[in-house]
Amino acid sequence: MSRIRKTVEAMQGYVPGRQPEGSFVKLNANENPYPPSPKALEALGNVGANSFRLYPSSTAVNLRKTAAEIFGVPFDCIVAGNGSDDIFTMIIRSILDEGDTLAVVDPTYTLYETLAEIQGARTERHPLKEDYALPESFFESDAKLKILPNPNAQTGTLFPEADIIRLCESAQGVVVIDEAYALFAGTSSLPLLKRFKNLVVTRTMSKSHSLAGMRVGFGMSSPDIIDAFMKVKDSYNLNAASQLIAAAALKDEEYTAGIVKALNETRDFFARELASLGWQVAPSAGNFLLARPEKGNAAEIVARLEKAGYLVRHFDTPRLKDKIRFSIGTPEQMERLIELLKNNE
């Protein structure tokens, strides 16, 4: 008899972007090539010995106060997490019972499905249309929970607000909009929280704030849903240093806006360059691009780039295997990458 739960034994587990040793240009996990705000680094210097000796605030009180101000959401409508992945764990734990259904689109961020699997819930995958727009079936599904990144992961697609409103209006249960990349898109569903009590909006400090290594994310919703998340979260889920540093980074909106603008400009430059090489590039509102080479095998190109010191992401799934996802780096990194692709190195 196995010592492991059947569901866990049968599942594959989430496969994150690789973090290998060595000096690679890392364009495989949508990390930010710029340093975090100098104010965040200054806050790091202020992390005193007590922050190591004592437990941190279990509900990240000061960080949530700052987040409430910056996001324009009441304090009791916010939970903080060890990255937004931790928020998804809270969502799945508190909403899905064994046998319940999670609805997601395909392709998208696959961690949601992995977490549902752990919970013993089933996942309905709704294939996006050819142009990556939402399919009717996703609106019509009566799943207890729907999770949708906006902009979408892997494709970069920005779904219009009318779609989000329709999802909230038609849902039988809770709708989660994962706004990991929202600052790059410049739009947000946060204002809809006042109107829809079944809506959860998540944010992360990993992408636009250059703090992937600190692991900080937020979930925002109506107080009763946030109360449920608080009950199921790990007790001290966010360490003291991350709480301090994230609050300082959040406050420095001017710095964040600057690096977001730079990345958007570099993304648009890179998209034009790829298109001029004959690649088919999906319109992206995130800090990454999904593109299909005119010729050649995507997996082989990825392997060649790795030999040249560039890590990019390939997903071996039916709709993504002929494409490559490039995270956006500095202009110099992307110019060199274009040279490598031109020379087929």
Q: Which residues bind to ligand PLP, rule: CB under 6 A?
A: 30, 83-85, 109, 149, 153, 178, 180, 204, 206, 212, 217
Q: Give me the least distance between CB of 54 and ligand PLP, in Å please.
A: 25
| Run of H or E including 327 | strand 324-327
Exposed / middle / buried, residue 57 (Cβ in 10 Å: 0-12, 13-18, 19+): middle
Q: Which is nearer to ligand PLP, 56 or 81 (CB)?
A: 81
**Cα 217 from Cα 79, distance rounded (Å):** 9
Distance CA 117, CA 8 (A): 8
Peptide bond preceding 107: is omega within 30 degrees of 0, i.e. cis? yes
Question: CB of residue 308 vs ligand PLP: minimum separation in angstroms?
Answer: 24
Rounded CA gap, 265 and 261, in Å? 6
Q: Among 31, 40, 312, which Cα is nearest to 180's?
A: 31
CB of 176 to ligand PLP, least distance (A): 10
Long-range contacts of 330-334 (CB under 8 A, 24+ apart): 330/33, 330/34, 330/266, 331/266, 331/269, 333/25, 333/27, 333/33, 334/266, 334/269, 334/270, 334/273
CB of residue 218 vs ligand PLP: minimum separation in angstroms? 9
Yes or no: say if 100 and 145 are a contact pair by the CB < 8 Å rule: yes
Q: What 3-state class would DSSP assign to 60? A: coil
CB of residue 173 vs ligand PLP: minimum separation in angstroms? 20
Is the omega angle on the peptide bond into residue 151 within 30 degrees of 0, that is, cis? yes
C-beta of 287: minimal distance to ligand PLP in Å?
10
Distance of CA 20 to CAs 33, 277, 303, 309, Å? 16, 29, 14, 11
Q: Give 40 or 180: the residue with its C-beta nearer to ligand PLP.
A: 180
**Spatial CB neighbours of 288, under 8 Å, sequence gap ≥ 6:** 30, 156, 267, 325, 326, 327, 328
CB of 43 to ligand PLP, least distance (A): 19
Residue entry with tokens 């949601």: 112
> CB 290 → ligand PLP: shortest distance, Å?
12
HSE toward the beta carbon, residue 202, CA cutoff 13 A: 30
